[in-house]
């Protein structure tokens, strides 16, 4: 399973949406409806699943699913 597919599952579960609604270009807040609490939960799930740490300052550069995939791939 690719990083995108794992991330897609995590986001779908966290935000209670269908995985098919999530693509690379999806903006996590604007398109998928995540709020600040969702973002915190999402980051914790990503850190657990991929064994990485996502510092707060890194979140400033992450707005789309593609941004998150690239961050995970660069830090795994």
Q: Which sequence positions are flagged as catalytic?
A: 35
Q: Which residues contact 35 (CB under 8 A, 6 or more apart)?
A: 29
CA atoms within 13 A on the CB side of 38: 15
Q: What is the residue-wise DSSP string for 29-62?
A: TTTT---HHHHHHHHHHHHHHHT----HHHHTT-
């Amino acid at each position: 399973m690719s990083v995108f597919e794992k991330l897609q599952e995590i986001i779908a579960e966290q935000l209670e949406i269908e995985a098919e609604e999530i693509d690379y270009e999806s903006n996590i807040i604007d398109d998928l409806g995540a709020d600040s609490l969702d973002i915190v939960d999402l980051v914790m799930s990503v850190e657990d699943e991929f064994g990485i740490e996502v510092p707060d300052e890194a979140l400033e550069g992450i707005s789309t699913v593609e941004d998150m995939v690239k961050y995970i791939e660069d830090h795994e």
